[in-house]
């Protein structure tokens, strides 16, 4: 694996991936985040769940919307023929890898036996993987949880994964009911490091530089880490990991302002754009000292004018931390 020496105090070996976050890390977010901060080796899209791709899904993977990034489209399905059809379409757009979502814990997804809900049906999952890997003509990576209900399900699950030429296995060491709360099961990830025949990527609770370097130190043979909430809450997280400075007020204003404008251009109105920005600020507010009151106001606002006034007040009134703090789930 390529080594990258960036500072005297921190040499790192891992690659860094932006996690797919439904409704948040769309191409507008990815392109603006990459322009302002960059540093991700791969950018994973929110899941595609329609065989023929709706306009939103197609817009998100159009090559002209992903310039300058190694983008990996993620597919959510429990039907092999749908997965293979989408993989073929995405190959036509020039993509060189697709990712299978076996990790989403949302009730509306798992009730259909998709995402982490597919993990509750191991025999169906095996037939699915048999069919996919018998026919697919591009690398397939997988993002998974430890199981549907109990962490111990992962012992059999990893045995299943080890039968296939999976390009990379991203493990979020929780089960579906845990969502994004509680302590991750690092012991089971450590077991996977010893037993996996597949290149591994760690995902889960990587919110600070110390969180990432802790994974690097504990699991030096792991190929990559995938960062989601931490990269939204602290956009300069990877830059700090490389020995660079924390985010400044001015660049955060530029980032959020450009993103807000990009959403307005996409939706053709400010109302939907303001709603999208509320989702960004759910995480980003943790980078500001004393932002609890502003966070509550952000959740309750309704109009673009309210959003613009509140965003301006946050930048004007609140001290900026050097790292995000608080509850992210």
Q: What is the residue extent of each domain of the chain?
A: 4-241, 249-317
Residues 278 and 253: their CA atoms lie apart, in Å, by: 15
Answer yes or no: is pLDDT of 4 > 50: no
> Three-state SS for 162?
coil
Give 8-41 pLDDT, tens digit per residue.
344 456 899 999 999 899 999 999 999 999 999 9
pLDDT at 327: 72
Answer yes or no: is pLDDT of 173 > 50: yes
pLDDT at 67: 96
- Residue 100: name the closest of 119, 227, 251 by CA: 119
Question: Span 166-179, mean pLDDT?
Answer: 96
CB–CB of 229/208 below 8 Å? no
In degrees rounded to 5, what are phi and psi of residue 26? -75, 180
By the 10 Å C-beta count (0-12 exposed, 13-18 middle, 19+ buried), 231 is classed as buried
Give 228-275 pLDDT, tens digit per residue.
999 999 999 999 999 999 999 999 999 999 999 999 999 999 999 999
CA dihedral of residues 328, 68, 93, 59 (deg, nearest 10)? 50
Answer yes or no: is pLDDT of 309 > 70: yes
- Residue 45: name the closest of 256, 63, 207 by CA: 63
CB–CB of 206/234 below 8 Å? no
Strands 11-12 and 4-5: antiparallel
Answer yes or no: is pLDDT of 163 > 70: yes
pTM for the full model? 0.93
CB–CB of 171/189 below 8 Å? yes
CATH number of 4-241: 3.20.20.70
């Amino acid at each position: 694996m390529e080594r990258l020496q960036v500072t005297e105090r921190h040499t790192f070996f891992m690659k860094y991936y932006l996690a797919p976050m439904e409704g948040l890390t769309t191409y507008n977010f990815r392109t603006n985040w990459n322009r302002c901060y960059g540093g991700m080796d791969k950018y994973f899209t929110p899941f595609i769940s329609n065989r023929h791709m709706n306009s939103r899904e197609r817009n998100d993977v159009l090559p002209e919307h992903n310039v300058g990034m190694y983008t990996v489209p993620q597919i959510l399905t429990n039907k092999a023929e749908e997965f293979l059809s989408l993989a073929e379409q995405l190959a036509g757009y020039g993509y060189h890898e697709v990712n299978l979502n076996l990790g989403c814990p949302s009730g509306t997804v798992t009730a259909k036996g998709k995402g982490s809900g597919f993990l509750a049906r191991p025999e169906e999952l095996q037939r699915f993987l048999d069919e996919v890997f018998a026919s697919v003509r591009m690398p397939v990576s997988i993002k998974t949880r430890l199981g549907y209900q109990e962490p111990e399900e992962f012992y059999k699950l990893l045995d299943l994964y080890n039968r296939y030429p999976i390009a990379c296995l991203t493990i979020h060491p929780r089960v579906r009911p845990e969502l994004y709360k509680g302590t991750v099961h690092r012991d089971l990830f450590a077991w996977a490091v010893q037993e996996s025949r597949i290149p591994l990527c760690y995902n889960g609770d990587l919110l600070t530089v110390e969180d990432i370097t802790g994974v690097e130190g504990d699991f030096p043979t792991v190929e990559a880490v995938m960062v989601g909430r931490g990269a939204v809450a602290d956009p300069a997280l990877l830059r700090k990991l490389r020995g660079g400075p924390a985010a400044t007020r001015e660049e955060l204003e530029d980032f959020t302002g450009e993103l807000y404008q990009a959403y307005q251009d996409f939706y053709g109105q400010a109302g939907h754009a303001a709603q999208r920005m509320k989702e960004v600020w759910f995480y980003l507010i943790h980078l500001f000292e004393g932002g609890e009151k502003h966070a509550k106001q952000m959740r309750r606002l309704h109009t673009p004018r309210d959003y613009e006034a509140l965003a301006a007040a946050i930048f004007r009134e609140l001290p900026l931390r050097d790292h995000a703090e608080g509850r992210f789930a």
